[in-house]
Amino acid sequence: MYGWNTKTRHAPFLIRTMERVAFFVALLVFVLLSSAYNASAELNMVIATSTVAVSICNNGIVDSGEVCDFGLGFNDGAYATSSDSRHCATNCRSWGPYCGDGVLKPYYGEECVPDGNNFCTDACKQKEAPISSTTPPQPPPTPSGSGGGSGGVPMRAQTQVIFAGKAYPNARVQILKDGQLLGIAQSDSNADFTYNVANATPGPTTFGFWAEDAKKIRSITYTTTFQVTQNAVTNVGNVFLPPTIRALLQKVSPGSDIMLDGTTAPRAHVQLLLDRSSAPVETATSKDDGSWDAKLSTGAMTPEIYHQILPYLELIAATGTVPQKSGNGTALNIFVGNSNVTDQTSNGDINGDGKVNMIDFSMLLFRFGKSDPVGDLNHDGKVNIADLSIMLYNWTS
């Protein structure tokens, strides 16, 4: 009379308890192994990588993309009377004005441009028949941020970050700092944009970038993390947003073509990766307005499963040079087959039984760290902890 009757009143309770225990044990194993899966994920995925070019102005080293760098306090862009004494600009990307740069600058007291004749001295002064002026030349302006003392050395240089990259023609590029909106940059007709962060906070910082194209298709959020150097200008180039992409149909019959379109930088290549292909399966060329389109044949695709398409930007380069590339864009999942399917990749119901439970969890765990449309709930091209969070949010039993 004191025993457990597992065939009657206690059976449902025991089953539910065992299910919960099994779930949390599996979840613990999942979390413990996630780092290992993440490390191996790069080996299982084909990834187009984009490396931003970071240079530090005021560190005394001429980094890539810089033309000069004399170190902190000496890059003031001030006027110089000769090329030997010229000053570096505050962003290290050009020289300050100087006598002999080929441009007449009366504002700095120049009377002529030295061109090898006998009438203009090396100090830009006229030997004979000097240029008359009713208004005497103005004195050179004091460099921005400079203080007293000999040489006009700035007391303290401003900490800045300057971004340059490509998005989509005439797009509003959202700039994020540590996940929060920092500002908006407007790209031009060539998709180029720049953004200057004045008075930046020194230290490791994560910046993000995203934009919508003219068709209101949103890009992925491209992020990069680096050290912001104090009292220096950090120039960050090659910030390339990947192409946007959409499909006419999310489900196509075997043998039909998959019709794709999107937007990228004008007159550039859009490379398309299929599933785990080691090389692009199709190349499209964007038009002057950045729009592109392509079609993929399904003839060689396995039917009755999802296939994943990933786009990336490749700028057309001169012969013999390495083209610049973006990272992968949004992963597009297309079902090739005649079965009745629903979008099971939105809520975690991977097996389509109307519930999000241990069966779906085990299917997600099997695909964790891989580039698999089944289990990639947020369509970012990989199955990871973000997909697990979506599944847990929609958990039903």
Lowest mean pLDDT among 78-87, 283-292, 318-327, 374-383: 374-383
Report the CATH number of the 157-240 domain: 2.60.40.10
The secondary element (H helix, E strand) that includes residue 246 is strand 246-247
CA distances from 66 to 2, 73, 93, 234, 302 (A): 84, 17, 5, 11, 51
Judge whether residue 264 has pLDDT over 70: yes
The secondary element (H helix, E strand) that includes residue 184 is strand 180-186
Q: Which residue has the higher pLDDT, 380 or 326?
A: 326
pLDDT range class, residue 315, cuts 50, 70, 90: very high
pLDDT range class, residue 84, cuts 50, 70, 90: confident
pLDDT tens, position by position, 3-36: 545 455 555 556 556 656 666 666 666 555 554 4
- The three-point CA angle 344-345-350 to 5° equals 60
pTM of the complete model: 0.64
Average pLDDT over residues 136-143: 51
Query: Would you say the CATH fold of 157-240 matches that of 22-50+244-393?
Result: yes
Judge whether residue 1 has pLDDT over 70: no
CA contacts within 13 A on the Cβ side of 138:
6
Domain locations in the chain as residue ranges: 22-50+244-393, 74-156, 157-240
Q: What is the arrangement of strands in the sheet containing 282-285, beginning at the earlier edge strand?
A: 251-252, 332-336, 305-314, 269-274, 282-285
Supply the pLDDT for residue 381: 75
Supply the pLDDT for residue 14: 61
- The C-alpha atoms of residue 261 and residue 213 are separated, in whole angstroms, by 12
**Residue 201 contacts by C-beta under 8 Å, 6 or more apart in sequence?**
159, 228
Write the secondary structure of 37-69 as one string of H (helix), E (strand) and C (coil): HHHHHHHHCCCCCCCCEEEEECCCCCCCCCCCC
Report the CATH number of the 22-50+244-393 domain: 2.60.40.10
Judge whether residue 69 has pLDDT over 70: yes
Supply the pLDDT for residue 23: 61
With CA atoms as reference, report the closest residue to 64 among 56, 72, 75.
56
With CA atoms as reference, report the closest residue to 168 among 222, 223, 242.
242
Lowest mean pLDDT among 24-33, 106-115, 304-313: 24-33
Q: Which residue has the higher pLDDT, 23 or 125?
A: 125
Lowest mean pLDDT among 41-55, 276-290, 323-337: 41-55
CA distances from 267 to 167, 169, 222, 291, 310 (A): 13, 11, 22, 9, 19
Are β-strands 251-252 and 332-336 bridged in parallel, bridged antiparallel, or unpaired? parallel
Judge whether residue 136 has pLDDT over 60: no
**Residue 300 contacts by C-beta under 8 Å, 6 or more apart in sequence?**
none
In the chain, the percentage of residues whose pLDDT exceeds 70 is: 76
Supply the pLDDT for residue 73: 81
pLDDT tens, position by position, 147-184: 444 444 444 568 999 999 999 999 999 999 998 999 99
Lowest mean pLDDT among 31-35, 118-122, 179-183, 229-233: 31-35
- The C-alpha atoms of residue 140 and residue 89 are separated, in whole angstroms, by 15
